Each structure stands twice: as structure tokens, then as C-alpha cells.
């Protein structure tokens, strides 16, 4: 059975970067959530995929990715985290949100922080292009 993944903030800058890496994944059942109409249009135009404005899919998700604006993480997590099933994983893109206790924490969930926009952490990797080595902020040159 495929793991269910929900990407919150799919139509934003970070959401689109994450979606670009997920869109062709066949091993996961992915739901893209974007509350703004403009964001849903931007997402559809970029990927040809419909995003939903409903967060109901969070209830059955194995993994929820918070690709939302940093300043909204606290309020959004207060709505989303209580909806999540026991044992699910929260992936945040802002390490300060967890460290600063902005993200709502539940003891029965797993938390992981990653940022999709950095150069390779392993610059000695074979076949690492110069573009990937110097992809400091774009999140497009480094291997995913």
C-alpha cells in the first residue's frame, strides 16, 4: 500500500519546489493542498495537476509537508496537527519553527526538518555538476 503524503502550500514558492521533486513519484499517493485560488492556478499551470483547497486529506496522511510561509506555521499547525493520525510524520521546511516552539508538537507524531533549497551537502559526490555545487538558493541544480 502506498504511503499518503500531503503537501500543504503547494502553490507557493517552496511548495512548487517540493512539488517539482514529488510530481513524478509513483511510490506515494500525493495530495497537493493550496488554499489560495491564485496558488491553485499557479500550481495547475506549472504542473498540470489540480490542487485542492481542502485539508481533509491530512486526517489519513502518513506524511504532511508544511511548505507554508514561516510566519503562518504556528497558526496553520494549530489547525493541522490535531487532525493528523497517530504515528504520522510532519516534515517542516523551517528548522526555527520547531526549535522556537512555533510548530505545534504532539508526542505521538514524528517530526523531521529539511530544506529543499540548498546545494549538495556532499560536494565530493561523483558526477556532481558545477551548477549543483553552486545552487545556493534555487533548489533546482542540486540532486534531489
Tens-place pLDDT, residues 20-40:
989 988 999 999 999 999 999
The span from the CA of 27 to the CA of 70, in Å, is 29
CATH of 3-113, one of 3.10.300.10, 1.10.150.120, 3.90.1200.10, 3.40.50.720: 3.40.50.720
Q: Domain boundaries in the chain?
A: 3-113, 117-144
Region 32-56 average pLDDT: 97
Rounded Cα distance between 21 and 32, Å, is: 13
Find, among 126, 61, 115, the residue nearest to 93 by Cα: 115
pTM: 0.82
Summary mean pLDDT of the chain: 86
- Where residue 116 falls among pLDDT bands split at 50, 70, 90? low
Distances (CA, A) of 111 to 12, 44, 64, 89, 114: 22, 29, 10, 6, 10
Amino acid at each position: 500500500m502506498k504511503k499518503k503524503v500531503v503537501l500543504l502550500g503547494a502553490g507557493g514558492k517552496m511548495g512548487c519546489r517540493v512539488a517539482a521533486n514529488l510530481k513524478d513519484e509513483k511510490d506515494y499517493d500525493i495530495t497537493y493542498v493550496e488554499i489560495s485560488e491564485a496558488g491553485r492556478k499557479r500550481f495547475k499551470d506549472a504542473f498540470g495537476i489540480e490542487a485542492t483547497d481542502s485539508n481533509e486529506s491530512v486526517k489519513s496522511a502518513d506524511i504532511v509537508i508544511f511548505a507554508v510561509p514561516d510566519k503562518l506555521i504556528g497558526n496553520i499547525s494549530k489547525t493541522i496537527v490535531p487532525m493528523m493520525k497517530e504515528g504520522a510524520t510532519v516534515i517542516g521546511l523551517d528548522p526555527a519553527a520547531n526549535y522556537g516552539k512555533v510548530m505545534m508538537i504532539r508526542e505521538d507524531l514524528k517530526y523531521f526538518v529539511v530544506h529543499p533549497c540548498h546545494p549538495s551537502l556532499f560536494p565530493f559526490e561523483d558526477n556532481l555538476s558545477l551548477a549543483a555545487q553552486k545552487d545556493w538558493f534555487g533548489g533546482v541544480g542540486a540532486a534531489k
